[in-house]
């Protein structure tokens, strides 16, 4: 990913997890990369591309378009994290071994 991904807007880091509120300023896929980078202390430009784990365009499209569905959420693994994106406007990431049931 060539874009400059700011990682300073994680809303909360707790134990082995982080939460970021989604904004219109960046696609969901970039928010996922930034959240995982912040949580793991990695440089986002040095991480495996998100598209090796999930289709970032499909992820962006799913949360970009208004939906008549009651709820939408997507959970997936990215690097050593479990990521959940919700239609409530948040990206949740936790280290894989610490994912709450």
Tell whether the model's pLDDT for residue 67 goes beyond 80.
Answer: no
43 in a domain, yes or no?
Answer: yes
Q: Over the stretch 3-14, which tens digit does the pLDDT of each residue have? A: 444 444 455 555
7 in a domain, yes or no?
Answer: no
**Which range marks the domain in which residue 50 is found?**
12-98
75 in a domain, yes or no?
Answer: yes
What's the pLDDT at 8? 45
Rounded to the nearest angstrom, the gap between the alpha carbon of residue 81 and the centroid of all alpha carbons in its chain is 10
Distance CA 83, CA 92 (A): 6
Total count of domains within the chain: 1
66 in a domain, yes or no?
Answer: yes
41 in a domain, yes or no?
Answer: yes
Distance CA 54, CA 84 (A): 12
6 in a domain, yes or no?
Answer: no
28 in a domain, yes or no?
Answer: yes
90 in a domain, yes or no?
Answer: yes
Distance CA 83, CA 14 (A): 15
Instruction: Give the contacts of 23 (CB within 8 A, at least 6 positions apart).
Output: 31
Tell whether the model's pLDDT for residue 30 goes beyond 70.
Answer: yes
Distance CA 46, CA 1 (A): 9
Alpha helices of the chain — where are they, by DSSP H?
28-40, 56-64
């Amino acid at each position: 990913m060539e874009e400059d991904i700011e990682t300073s807007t994680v809303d909360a880091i707790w134990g082995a997890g982080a939460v970021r509120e989604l904004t219109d300023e960046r696609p969901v896929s970039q928010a996922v990369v930034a959240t995982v980078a912040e949580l793991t202390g990695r440089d986002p430009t040095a991480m495996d591309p998100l598209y090796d784990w999930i289709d970032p365009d499909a992820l962006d499209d799913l949360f970009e378009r208004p939906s008549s569905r009651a709820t939408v959420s997507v959970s997936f693994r990215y690097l050593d994290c479990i990521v959940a994106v919700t239609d409530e406007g948040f990206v949740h990431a936790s280290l894989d071994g610490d994912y709450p049931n």
